[in-house]
Structure 1
Amino acid sequence: MQTAVVGTKGKLSYRLNLKGFPANARAYAYFAEIENLGKNDTQKFIMQQPQVPGYNNIIVNIIENANGSYTLYEPSYMNISLDFVLSFSLVKTLDSTRGPLLNAIKISKYVQIVPKTKRKW
């Protein structure tokens, strides 16, 4: 990953309209540091999303989880229930020297597989 949105003020906020929702889904977040950070730099942040209980205490630490710059860290959240409007923020932790970063997100809606025909043999 070579591009990202960086929250230089300590916070990134998003509001997405999800076509075909509400529904259950799997959400992927893609994080990769796009700069060479100093020895004392840290980049940790949490996701604040009040509509999904239990997901606001997850701390993302790109340096620790991705093992360096330009390496992808890809956490996913399985079987979450999402509404038509998804609002969330990434907020830096108090001990972080850098703001949050997000390279990309992907949301896959779970759908029921239906046979093409009901032909009996």
Structure 2
Amino acid sequence: MGQPAPAVLDPAAPLDPVRDWLGTWSDGAGTIRIWPAPGLGRMQIESTLRWDGGAGPNGEPRANFGGMHGLLEVQGAKASAAEGACQVVLTRIGRYLVADDDGDCGGINVRHTGVYVRINAGR
């Protein structure tokens, strides 16, 4: 199996610096919502995350939760946001939103890290 051409993996700047970030994004377990921050000339971000830890010894479900809310600083195809110790970095690659964080955004194993697709283009 050959390596993909480097251009396929390079972040491409969104066509519109606001519209192409807006909406609700999901990786199947968590969501990231991005919308305009009225009067601030920037955008806001809110995430809801869940780590499913399977079943405990007595069959009880185990899950940890987390997320963040803050202002999103966008520069081309990259963006970042922070709330307290939680710091998130986002990259737009084609139709995807790739996310990573510093590991301080919730309970044990709760991370933004993943590849998200837009499930709703509205606010």
Answer yes or no: same fold by TM over 0.5: no
Where is the strand percentage greater, Structure 1 or Structure 2?
2
Which structure has more RCO (C-alpha within 8 Å, separation ≥ 6)?
1
TM-score normalised by length of structure 1? 0.30
- Which has more radius of gyration? 1
TM-score normalised by length of structure 2? 0.30
